[in-house]
Structure 1
Amino acid sequence: MYSAFDAAAQTKNDSSINKSHLLALPVISRSIETDWSFGAGGTYTFYTTRKKDSTTRTSSIRFLGSYSLRKQFLFTVNGPVFFPGEKYILNSHFSFSSFPDRFWGVGNHTPDDNEEEYVFKQFYVRLHGERLLGKNFFAGLIYDFQRVININTQPGGLFDQQNVAGKNPYQVSGLGLSFSWDTRNNTFWPNKGHLFSLQATHYTSLLFSDHRFNNIIADARWFKQITRKQILALQGYIFLNTGADVPIRSIASLGGADRMRGFYSGRYRDDHLLSLQTEYRIHLYKRISAVGFAGMGDVAGRFSKLSMQRLKYSYGGGLRFAVNKNEKLHIRFDYGFGSGKGNNGFYLQFGEAF
């Protein structure tokens, strides 16, 4: 299914010298949203310091081009760059997608038989630069740009009935601030440390945005090594929008390969999202590990309407194969089950859910 080429970009045989590696491979992946996808991808891992430096984590640039059996095309380049001493961090994301998708309407009680298809083409750019303020504490600036150049919906369908913003081609452009506290010892497969991140972005016509609104994201992750081969990982995630002009590709989306596995990404959509998930990670043999996971979450039109009594649930498990053993970079095979009828599916992905 996979073949890999692992090339060292430096050839000196000195263990004190940081080496960079390119891992490129043909990719076969699968998710509920895409069915089987075929393409090529990989990662370039490197250090911005020449000598070994325990204060600077491994930088990575990940790339992927794929085409699915559902005629979905995706090209993406993303990853963090950690500068010497981690005084500066640059997170970047560039992507183009041509994507037949599904829509059930806005809200957390949309019936299954609401399902209708729509198609969009989208350019997306996100730049997030961070500056070290104190030990493990960062402040940053965000630029977020999304251009939907083509969107085809069904005449008289849900988009028209609910007057969904963004049913015509549009762009959004926004600037934001971020604050984070990051003590993780590895960005791919940490076994200790935590990440607390808060991001707030304002989308305005001053930046040539067709829609005006605000977005706030709070992300908390915690990792604990239970035994030499076992890790407990937890994540809490909050996504909030304010304003009455939030377009379809910017509202909160429940489900997908990273949160609430088992639900189709976007099965439930609304302005606000809350999700909690945990993973128990166990190393089995050489490059193989296993994971069990569970999560709960929901969307709502107002944050005050999110209720613990009505949360949706997901659970499942999977295997991991380390394509880069030293950096703990994995291919993951997950199967998730979501509460409700028909919410389940298989995921074959590159990298961890969180």
Structure 2
Amino acid sequence: MLYPIFLRVVLLAIFLLPMATPLAYGQDFKDFKDIFTFYPNKRKVQKDSSRYLAKLVAAPVISYSPETSLGIGVGAKYLFKFNGSGPETRTSNMPATLQYTLNNQFVLFSGFEVFTNQEEWVIEGNVLVQNYPRLFYGIGRDAPKENKEEYNYVQVLVEPIFLKQAFFRYLFVGAGVRYNQIFDVQTEAGGILETEQPLGYEGSTSMSAEFAMLYDSRNNILNANSGWYFEFTHGFYGKVLGGTHNFELSRFDLRHYFTPFKNKKDVLAVQFIGHFSQGEVPFSELGLFGGSEILRGYREGRYVARTLLAGQLEYRTTFGDSRYGMVAFVGGGDVNSNLGDFKLGNIRPNFGIGLRFLLDRSENLNIRLDWGFGEASNNLYLDIAEAF
């Protein structure tokens, strides 16, 4: 019992460290932050003030989640606009993180969103390379906790999507591809995975052509306080494309942000997600319940199945004009074999609270420390940027 208590104290100390120094406020903190901030086009902006001052932020990264334990590495975030883009074009965001964790994991990740001039096109997607030990309890919503076993794998995921503005400003339609390879899988001898042998449990390659639709009216990509976000993708996966299985996968992500009080900067954020698959669905493409972004409090993959539905509500407030704030969140979700099997009474709840420290005022970028609670479980999460 001492280890989780000690770890919580350490993470809280890491988060509150700026409060004990003058770096938390004013010019001193700005000077400190500028050590890690580079301006690739600064000279061009000095000659032409109509250009956007691009930022390349590169710094050490510390994160924590129950899936990874403490992670240490480096992160970079490139914020820019193409020449000729004005205030009508939102800032493009190209992040990259390289980390090594105390669970002996190696993770390289980038989730990018790029807007061309006047937002005529949006280019978004994910790149992920990792070796990852994950806990497995069985497939289905009733997998018992005592079934817990660990398996390890290496994953390479590449998913670029190209979307064209259609009909009106914030609506985009397009297509892309998704490549997801799982290999070098190591399972426990005589464990559930080896006994049940779900499709693709020893590794798989998923290759698809995807249809995509995006509606995005958020006022800020990194931390919105107004607007809607809706992304839908449907992928056709097949052996003819180079994959190992034939199946279809649909995903959606719906969010809304608004300020409930006129005289306050407080934000109410809502999110719903869905994951629906059919056909010869490999083990790696099942919906994963839990994680650091939704259903906080449950370990990612605590429950797995073909279909996942989840939602969350988060209230965000700031302490006056300081860099500090708090959030409170509540949500729930479930997994099942088919959409028709979902029942409102089976929803598994989660809730929690979090602390925030504003790292960059101009981009509204926070460091977050969240404490989430689920059924008979609770977990801490330390990361950069909001959960959604």
TM-score range, shorter chain: over 0.9
Q: CA deviation at 1:307?
A: 1.0
TM-score by length of 2: 0.87
Whether 1:43 and 2:77 are equivalent positions in the alignment is yes
Distance in 2, Cα, partners of 1:288 & 1:147: 41
> How far apart are the structure 2 equivalents of 1:170 and 1:199?
21
Question: In the alignment, which residue of structure 2 is the partner of 1:329?
Answer: 365
Hey, what does 1:220 align to over in structure 2?
254
The residue number in structure 1 matching 2:25 is none
Deviation at 1:63, TM superposition (A): 0.8
Distance 2:141 2:365 in 1: 35
Match in the other structure for 1:113: 146
Residue equivalent to 1:260: 295
The percent identity for this pair of structures is 30
Distance 2:196 2:338 in 1: 17
Task: Spell out, residue by residue over 1:3-57, the C-alpha distance to the aligned partner (whole angstroms, 9 max, x if none).
Answer: 8511222323465431110111111110011111111112111111345x22211
1:248 to 257, 280, 283: 283
**What SS does structure 2 have at the residue aligned with 1:159?**
helix
- How many pairs align? 350
Unaligned runs of 5+ in 2: 1-13, 16-31
Q: Would the aligned equivalents of 2:359 and 2:366 in 1 still touch at CA under 8 Å?
A: yes
**Based on CA coordinates, which of the two structures has the bigger radius of gyration?**
2
Shift of 1:188: 1.1
- By percentage of residues, which structure has more helix? 2
Q: 2:329 aligns with which of 293, 301, 304?
A: 293
Q: 2:136 aligns with which of 103, 108, 125?
A: 103
Q: Distance in 2 between matches of 1:241 and 1:322?
A: 38
Q: Which has the higher strand share?
A: 1
Contact 2:204–2:284 (CA<8 Å) still a contact in 1? no
Match of 1:124 among 157, 162, 178: 157
RMSD: 1.5
Q: Secondary structure at the match of 1:309?
A: helix
Aligned partners of 1:121, 1:188: CA distance in 2, in Å? 29
Q: CA–CA distance in 2 between the matches of 1:34 and 1:104?
A: 17
Shift of 1:247: 1.6
Runs of 4+ in 1 over 4 A off after TM superposition: 1-4
Superposed, which structure 2 residues align to 1:1-354 within 5 Å? Answer: 1=14, 4=33, 5-11=36-42, 12-13=45-46, 16-50=50-84, 53-135=86-168, 136-227=170-261, 228-243=264-279, 245-284=280-319, 285-339=321-375, 341=376, 343-354=377-388
Aligned 8 A contact 2:84 2:117 in 1: no
Task: Report the secondary structure of 1:117's partner residue.
Answer: strand
> 2:194 aligns to what SS in structure 1?
helix
Structure 2 distance, partners of 1:41, 1:197, is 26
Distance 1:71 1:80 in 2: 29
Contact 1:333 1:347 (8 Å CA) reproduced: yes
- Write the distance in 1 (CA, Å) between the matches of 2:195 and 2:345: 29
